[in-house]
Structure 1
């Protein structure tokens, strides 16, 4: 396990397991109007994607406060999902988790990180901009939206440099 700092609270990153999926699904369904399914997470684990949970290292009863799923490409990673429990948002946990993911990817040879984000997700867009991500594309109708509509996705990339 590795430790990282998020505001005043320390977080610990560890590999996600099938046992974690119940808690992951609690968070996922609480923070997204169109959440991933348990099958999406299970399939990611089976496919060998990096799947991380982030826990309170201070021994607080919170347990898992966030998670991330990352798919490796030859020399970059694609961040498929990163989420923080609603009760822990606004405490810089997302920032700490994203920084940890970028550092881990750089140390393992990735040169960049790619992700999609909804234009309507102002908080996530602000986080990504503050962490050096820039828009490199647009995927039309990528996300499901209310009443059967679709929402575009902004494609963002951050160069990681050499480890």
Structure 2
């Protein structure tokens, strides 16, 4: 999706940011495929981006990536806020995401943004060392 407020984004640039933010990063092809999918949009700034899918009245955060050099400066919160505004404009009434239970920084960001825990996926994430980690499913219900 592209419009003047949320212009088209370069999947290669997003992949570079994702690679800085995650050990198991998504590459340009994966991001290009997602961006070409119905209902998917990105909000991006120089230091990070958020990728959202809207289907009917529900939105899902597919990924939120912020470069380490841009962390702890409010960028993640700005990206979440812009994504919520855009998703609501597209008809979403709530937004979901999954976050690793041990990702305290992300959990704090989402809590400050109003997300609450609604479920758990046991052993959802696998780590390079073979360890499994639960994912917490969070939801934010939009006020209308």
Cα distance in 1, alignment partners of residues 38 and 57 from structure 2: 16
Determine which of 54, 63, 72 is the counterpart of 1:81: 63
Cα distance in 1, alignment partners of residues 38 and 68 from structure 2: 27
Match in the other structure for 1:43: 33
Return closer, same or farther for 1:134/1:122 CA change in 2, 3 Å cut-off: same
Q: Does 1:154 find its partner at 2:136?
A: yes
* Alpha-carbon contact 1:15-1:53 (below 8 Å) kept: no
Determine which of 7, 21, 34 is the counterpart of 1:14: 7
* TM-score of the pair, normalised by structure 2: 0.88
Cα distance in 2, alignment partners of residues 15 and 139 from structure 1: 33
- Uncovered stretches (5+) of structure 2, i.e. residues with no partner: none
Provide Cα deviations, 1:90-138, integer angstroms capped at 9, x if missing partner: 1101101101111111222211000000111111100100111000011
**Which structure 2 residues correspond to residues 26-105 of structure 1 after superposition, within 5 A?**
26-55=16-45, 64-105=46-87
Cα distance in 1, alignment partners of residues 130 and 82 from structure 2: 36
RMSD over aligned Cα atoms: 1.6
Larger Rg: 1
* Alpha-carbon contact 2:118-2:139 (below 8 Å) kept: yes
- Offset at 1:50? 2.2
* TM-score of the pair, normalised by structure 1: 0.79
- Offset at 1:49? 4.1
Match in the other structure for 1:117: 99
Deviating beyond 6 angstroms after TM superposition, the runs of 4 or more aligned structure 1 residues are none
